[in-house]
Amino acid sequence: MTYLLDTSAWLAHYTGEAGGAQVQKLIDSAGARLLVASVSVTEFTRRLKTLGPGVDAETVRDDYLAVFDEVVPIALDAACLAADLSAAASARLPLVDSLIAAAACLSGATLVHRDAHFAAIPAKRLRQLAVA
């Protein structure tokens, strides 16, 4: 099974927040393929830098990147699909999250997240695993 971690799930794992243990199970799961969208790399690093001077954001980020099987780039096909997913959503979907959802769709992955607004995307358009 292929999973694409949204930044919210990635941060939950790092901080030990709710959902972090579920992410760890995916990391430990034999045969699981773990992906992350390139824009999540930026979001994750920026968030780490707000946690204080004791956090070496780049080292933490790079250690995690070694765990992922692939960083999915956001190219034109993802940008166009993100617009379609946003239009199909029943509520406002932030731009970065629409790009991450599109990356999951194009990769054939299940999106793993902690963000309630992803529920606005029709289930037929995106496989999701909400961790809590």
pLDDT above 70 covers a percentage of the chain that reads: 100
In the predicted model, what is the mean pLDDT of the chain? 96
The pLDDT, as a whole number, for residue 53 is 85
> Rounded to whole angstroms, what are the CA distances from 122 to 21, 51, 89, 117, 125?
26, 34, 6, 11, 5
For residue 126, the model assigns a pLDDT of 97
3-state class (DSSP) for residue 118: helix
What pTM did the predictor assign? Answer: 0.95
What tens digit of pLDDT does each residue of 18-58 get? 999 999 999 999 999 999 999 999 999 999 999 888 889 99
Q: In the CATH hierarchy, which fold is given to the domain comprising 7-115?
A: Rossmann fold (3.40.50)
Amino acid at position 70, single letter: E
Q: State yes or no: pLDDT of 61 exceeds 90.
A: yes
